[in-house]
């Protein structure tokens, strides 16, 4: 039986069933790849992948991004549970990173090479909350009025983890490496053209913070307004996880956010991230005073 691809009741996303991601034949893989480009987000319920299978599935889409700068870290936990089984407490670095994930974002936009896609699987889920929300930035762009399309056509924004964490009152300052703008913050156009589909999308999110040539207050108002407009129905999908579910999204044309939950309960997600393609997703970085003066961080996802 071929896989069944059922589009969601939103402008993006499809649920794929009758499929075993750990054992794809060529025809099935082509269907998945096409569906990924068409729908921008795919949900594969009840796959129960091993780490190896999740990594191998992700590798079909491209090279892995070296998470946390560690060549061995092809899959990492997005979790409030620590190695000893206890849960993270407010104020801990990992806790702050998770709270940051509750803001709409796209992965690695603050790195010079932004991510292509992410694959997330649920291992342990809390009794309520902790959904993952995804929003379609292709439809968001399409629905802007012409005046706004013209206004943003040639604008770019800096993306910085320090700035996005600062917005929630957190100063990033531990460790070394991943996420640190050693060469300044990446400057990314507000409109992204997808290399496969040619569709335009809004490229924004919590890490975007400053627009060259524009007053900072005006830039903030513009970026906040776009984000507010973009992450609304019918462009949004909220997934209530069951352990074993797998979701993947195209970081180039969607935003995602974790939904809050009771942090006294463990939530364990497994994350694999596919690197962007240098021809499309590598941008220049520039030093600007707002992005400097921070210390590096070791584990910012
Ligand atoms: C991620 C992420 C959200 C979540 O995996 O990149 O932001 O719901 N996850 O855990
Ligand atoms: Mn993320």
Q: Report if residue 179 sits inside a domain.
A: yes
Output the CA angle 36-277-141, nearest 5 degrees. 55
**Average pLDDT over the chain, rounded to an integer:** 91
Q: Report if residue 271 sits inside a domain.
A: yes
Q: What is the largest CA-CA distance in the chain?
A: 57
Secondary structure, 3-state, 158-175: EECHHHHHHHCCCCCCCC
**Residue 174 pLDDT > 90, yes or no?**
no
Q: Report if residue 287 sits inside a domain.
A: no
**Mean pLDDT of the region 228-252:** 98
**Residue 214 pLDDT > 50, yes or no?**
yes
| pLDDT 10s digits, 179-201 | 555 567 899 999 999 999 999 99
Q: Report if residue 206 sits inside a domain.
A: yes
Q: How far is CA 162 from the centre of its chain?
A: 16
Q: What is the CATH number of the domain that holds 244?
A: 3.60.130.10
The pLDDT of residue 301 is: 47
Q: Using omega within 30 degrees of 0 as the cis cutoff, is the peptide bond preceding 234 cis? A: yes
Q: Report if residue 295 sits inside a domain.
A: no
Residue % of the chain over a pLDDT of 90:
82
Is residue 159 in contact with ligand 1, taking CB distance under 6 Å? Answer: no
Q: Which of 77, 249, 258 to mutate to test the pocket of ligand 1 (most atoms within 8 A of CB)?
A: 258
The pLDDT of residue 294 is: 40
Is residue 248 in contact with ligand 1, taking CB distance under 6 Å? Answer: no
| pLDDT 10s digits, 55-77 | 999 999 999 998 776 777 889 99
The pLDDT of residue 166 is: 87
Span from the CA of 116 to the centroid of ligand 2 (angstroms) = 12
The pLDDT of residue 289 is: 42
CB burial readout 36-67, b (16+ within 10 A) else e: beebbbbbbeebebeeebbbbbbeebeebbeb
Range of the domain at 110: 4-281
Query: Cβ of 235: how many Cβ atoms within 10 Å?
Result: 23
The pLDDT of residue 299 is: 42
Span from the CA of 5 to the centroid of ligand 1 (angstroms) = 23
Q: Report if residue 291 sits inside a domain.
A: no
Span from the CA of 132 to the centroid of ligand 1 (angstroms) = 7
Least confident of 118-122, 126-130, 282-286: 282-286
Q: Which parts of the chain are beta strand (E)? A: 4-7, 14-17, 41-44, 76-79, 115-124, 132-136, 156-159, 185-189, 191-193, 200-202, 208-210, 236-239, 246-250, 254-258, 268-275, 285-286
Which of the ligands is closest to the CA of residue 124?
1
Span from the CA of 273 to the centroid of ligand 2 (angstroms) = 9
Q: Which residue has the higher pLDDT, 108 or 292?
A: 108
Residues 6+ apart with CB under 8 A from 244: 45, 46, 47, 48, 121, 122
Which of the ligands is closest to the CA of residue 205?
2
- Indicate the number of domains in the chain: 1
The pLDDT of residue 1 is: 86
The pLDDT of residue 178 is: 53
Distances (CA, A) of 280 to 61, 133, 159, 205, 253: 15, 25, 16, 18, 13
Measured CA to CA, the distance from residue 273 to residue 64 in angstroms comes to 6
**Mean pLDDT of the region 257-279:** 97
Q: Report if residue 77 sits inside a domain.
A: yes
Least confident of 6-10, 213-217, 291-295: 291-295
Span from the CA of 1 to the centroid of ligand 1 (angstroms) = 32
Q: Report if residue 294 sits inside a domain.
A: no
**Mean pLDDT of the region 32-37:** 98
Which ranges in 113-239 belong to alpha helices (H)? 137-142, 146-152, 161-167, 216-230
Residue 130 alpha carbon, nearest atom of ligand 1 = 8
**Mean pLDDT of the region 154-162:** 93
């Amino acid at each position: 039986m071929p896989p069944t691809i059922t589009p969601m009741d939103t402008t993006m996303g499809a649920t794929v069933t009758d499929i075993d991601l750990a054992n794809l034949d060529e025809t099935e893989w082509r269907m998945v790849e096409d569906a990924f480009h068409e729908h921008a987000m795919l949900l594969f319920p009840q796959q129960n992948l091993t780490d190896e299978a999740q990594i191998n599935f992700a590798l079909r889409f491209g090279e892995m991004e070296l998470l946390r700068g560690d060549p061995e870290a092809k899959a990492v936990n997005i979790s409030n549970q620590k190695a000893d089984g206890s849960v993270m407490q407010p104020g801990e670095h990992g806790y702050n990173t998770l709270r940051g994930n509750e803001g709409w974002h796209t992965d690695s936009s603050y790195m010079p090479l932004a991510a292509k896609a992410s694959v997330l699987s649920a291992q342990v889920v809390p009794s309520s909350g902790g959904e993952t929300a995804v929003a379609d930035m292709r439809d968001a762009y399409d629905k802007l009025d012409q005046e706004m399309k013209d206004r943003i056509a040639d604008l770019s924004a800096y993306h910085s983890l320090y700035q996005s964490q600062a917005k929630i009152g957190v100063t990033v300052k531990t460790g070394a490496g991943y996420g640190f703008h050693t060469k300044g913050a990446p400057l990314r156009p507000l409109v992204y053209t997808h290399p496969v589909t040619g569709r335009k999308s809004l490229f924004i999110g919590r890490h975007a913070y400053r627009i060259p040539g524009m007053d900072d207050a005006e830039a903030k108002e513009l970026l906040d307004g776009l984000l507010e407009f973009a992450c609304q129905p019918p462009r949004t999908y909220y997934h209530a996880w069951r352990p074993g579910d797998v979701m993947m999204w195209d970081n180039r044309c969607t935003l995602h956010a974790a939904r809050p939950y009771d942090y006294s309960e463990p939530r364990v997600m497994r994350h694999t991230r596919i690197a962007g393609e240098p021809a499309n997703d590598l941008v220049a970085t520039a030093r600007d005073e707002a992005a400097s003066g921070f210390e590096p961080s070791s584990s910012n996802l």
